[in-house]
Amino acid sequence: MLKYIIPLVLFIIMALFLGVGLTLNPSEIPSPFINKPAPNFSAPKLNAPQERLTPADLKGQVWLFNVWASWCVSCRSEHPVLNDLARLNAVTIIGLNYKDDPVDAKKWLDTLGNPYNISIMDQEGRIGIDYGVYGVPETFVIDKNGIIRYKQTGPVTVVDLQKTLIPLLDKLQAEPQ
């Protein structure tokens, strides 16, 4: 009897492990940034390159830091969702125009709409490295004290907006500074 039970138990254990493995997304890498201060930067604005933006300028407000590029295919599917979010006026949306040509980037915003309060340029991808960006689009939620509270890799969908982002933003807006 034992002869049959041992392989069966081993099989069940293995099947469980493999089953859990199947439901995980291997391209999702846990972010080491959660609950850490947003890395500093000073970057030129897309629409006014002579002006620069730093995270310190945004202190006291909850802001969304969305990494995007005109060459990024899934950014296109995300864009209308960001436009919707912008219409809600729930949060300051800052765009990080990642490794992009400013001309293409501006054209993109002109044709698809501009959900960003400000977009900054990171043509060399250095700010991207400081934020551990590896797959555009990525979205960070940063609280009033400049702490990263949430990160999403990949496009934000309407479901993400309703289930995760808006409740989180409401909570963060209610937090004292």
Spatial contact of 103 and 71, defined as CB atoms under 8 Å apart:
no
User: CA 128, CA 134: separation in Å to the nearest integer?
Assistant: 8
Scanning the structure block, which residue is given the tokens 């009897």? Answer: 1
- Bridge partners of residue 68, in order along the sequence: 97
125 near other proteins, judged by CB under 8 A: yes
101 near other proteins, judged by CB under 8 A: no
Q: Which of residues 62, 78, 95, 99 is near other proteins by CB under 8 A?
A: 99
Distances (CA, A) of 49 to 107, 114, 126: 16, 17, 17
Taking residues 21 to 60 in sequence order and writing x for each that binds other proteins by CB under 8 A, - otherwise, the string is: -----xx-xxxxx---------------------------
Number of residues located near other proteins, criterion CB under 8 A: 18
Radius of gyration of the chain (CA): 20
Choice between 65 and 131, CB closer to other proteins: 131
154 near other proteins, judged by CB under 8 A: no
**Which window, 46-54, 55-63, 119-127, 162-170, contacts other proteins (CB under 8 A)?**
119-127
Scanning the structure block, which residue is given the tokens 């808006």? Answer: 166
**Which window, 57-65, 105-113, 131-139, 163-171, contacts other proteins (CB under 8 A)?**
131-139
User: In the bound complex, what is the minimum distance in angstroms from residue 158's beta carbon to other proteins?
Assistant: 26
User: In the bound complex, what is the minimum distance in angstroms from residue 57's beta carbon to other proteins?
Assistant: 22
Around Cβ 135, how many Cβ atoms within 10 Å? 13
Choice between 29 and 88, CB closer to other proteins: 29
Scanning the structure block, which residue is given the tokens 């993109």? Answer: 108
Distances (CA, A) of 84 to 80, 87, 163, 171: 6, 5, 15, 19
Binding positions for other proteins, rule: CB under 8 A: 26-27, 29-33, 99, 124-126, 128-132, 134-135
